[in-house]
Amino acid sequence: MKRVYNFSPGPSALPLPVLERAAKEMTDTNGSGQSVMEMSHRSKDFKPIIEKTEALLRELMGIPANYKVLFLQGGASLQFSMIPLNLAAVEQGAPKKKAAYIDTGIWAKKAADEAAKYVDVAIRASSKDKSYTYIPSAPAPEAGDAYYHITLNNTIVGTKWEKAPDTGSVPLIADISSCILSEPLDVSKFGILYAGAQKNLGPAGTTVVIIRDDLIGHAPSWTPALLRYDIHVEEGSMYNTPPCYGIYIIGLVLEWLKDLGGVPAIAKKNREKADMFYSYLEKSRNFHSPVEKSARSLMNIPFIPKETDADKRKDIETRFIKEAAAEGLINLAGHRLVGGMRASIYNAMPIDGVQALIKFMEKFEGGL
Ligand SMILES: Cc1ncc(COP(=O)(O)O)c(C=O)c1O
């Protein structure tokens, strides 16, 4: 069997034991004589699957009882619309409400741009002046803010909030797509947490939303049914057909994580992997991390050649990505909008994968 080390930012590598188990269970899951893909979402066979997935997520993240967990479709991007619609949009003719956003990169900006269709968006801080290579200090919320939105880990630029801001009674909303379950997180500090599954949780197609009770039920009457949290909560994520297979795989990933020792254990491994790679970059003659030390992500590590001549630099990048792929180290290109390279080292990336990348880089640098 050939397996590559996949450094993709998402969809990304899944734990091999999960894939092997899913393959084994593919045609007959839990003695049902069916694949999960064939099951009715309302059947007695699927019910324990979604219940188990939710229970494991609650246990691993320590989700308090006054929070609901939803498994939705539409990706994290649909949450860019659902959040303003459900928390701050108003009936037609009523004065608009306002919401605070912190601009820490492309996804944060997209979330703000989408919200601006429904609410008065105030960008209270931004790190755009330095190409998003740091996390700006977050001002306190202002009176009348309906909510306060941050992107906890910025997948493209490789920054993360070391500490989420304290927003007092204003609900703090965080996009945790690229850091969910990578480190301990105090859920009770947030009003809503949301994440597309395709990085640390499972396949693309499922979005996890964790929402505090008091934030449910405020959408204006014109909100499309599928975009209303209250309807999804009332129907237990089954107002329409949920992404059943994705939910099943998330359940297997969570079991795998629990067996490893849960979030504290994976956080230790993630720290070890990231430290190993950042310290290599610190010593490297030819590459460096563009991100400020205090803001460095554990999950997504961009790195760029020190070469200043644009053509030579491009040539190094092209060769690097091609030669790494030939050695089974794939998807190391940086985001198309920022260039350079990026190693995404989510929970499923083994330490061996990071070591293999470092070994390759030593050889590559020797030939420069
Ligand atoms: C932090 C963050 N937010 C949102 C998105 C968009 O996710 P989706 O493609 O699930 O809509 C991504 C995708 O990579 C992301 O990294």
Alpha carbon distance 255, 252 (integer Å): 5
Tokens 């129907």, residue located: 235
35: three-class secondary structure by DSSP: coil
Q: Please state, in angstroms and as integers, the Cα–Cα distance from residue 178 to each residue in 33, 35, 168, 297, following that order.
A: 35, 29, 25, 10
Output the pLDDT for position 282. Answer: 97
Check if 127 has its Cβ closer than 6 Å to any atom of ligand 1.
no
- For 89: left if phi > 0, alpha if psi spans -120 to 50, otherwise beta; the answer is beta
Confidence (pLDDT) at 160: 98
Residues 324-364: tens digit of each pLDDT: 999 999 999 999 888 899 999 999 999 999 999 999 999 99
Q: Do 53 and 69 form a contact (C-beta atoms < 8 A)?
A: no
Ligand 1 nearest-atom number relative to CA 79: 11
Tally the residues of the chain: 368
Tens digit of pLDDT for each residue in 127-143? 999 999 999 999 999 99
What mean pLDDT is predicted for residues 310-330? 97
- Interatomic CA distance for residues 116 and 38, integer angstroms: 40
Tokens at residue 206, please? 């499922």
**In the chain, how many H helices and how many E strands?**
9, 14
Count CA within 13 A, CB hemisphere, residue 207. Answer: 23
Which of 102, 113, 135, 178 should be mutated for ligand 1, with most atoms under 8 A from CB? Answer: 178
**Which neighbouring-strand residues pair with 194?**
175, 209
Spot the catalytic one: 68, 160, 161, 199.
199
| Beta-carbon count within 10 A of 1 CB | 4
10 lines ligand 1 (CB under 6 A): yes
- Does residue 256 carry a catalytic annotation? no
Q: List, edge to edge, every strand of the sheet that includes 341-344.
A: 287-288, 300-305, 341-344
In the three-class reduction of DSSP (H, G, I as helix; E, B as strand; rest coil), residue 219 is classed as coil
**In whole angstroms, what is the distance from residue 141 CA to residue 159 CA?**
22
104-118 pLDDT tens trace: 999 999 999 999 999
Overall average pLDDT of the 262-274 stretch: 98
Among protein residues, the one whose CA lies closest to atom 16 of ligand 1: 155
| ∠ Cα 175 79 106 (to 5°) | 55
Instruction: Supply 168's token pair.
Output: 């007092």
CB 160 within 8 A of CB 179: yes
Q: What are 17-72's pLDDT values in tens digits? A: 999 999 999 999 999 999 999 999 999 999 999 999 999 999 999 999 999 999 99
pLDDT in the model for residue 337: 82
- 158 touches ligand 1 (CB under 6 Å): no
Cα–Cα distance, 108 to 83 (Å, whole number): 13
Distance 219 CA to ligand 1 centre (A): 23
DSSP E strands: which ranges in the chain?
5-6, 67-72, 98-103, 120-126, 145-151, 153-154, 159-160, 172-175, 192-196, 207-212, 287-288, 300-305, 329-330, 341-344
196 pocket-lining for ligand 1 (C-beta < 6 Å): yes
* pTM of the shown model: 0.98
Q: Centre a 10 Å sphere on the Cβ of residue 175 and count the other Cβ atoms it contains.
A: 29
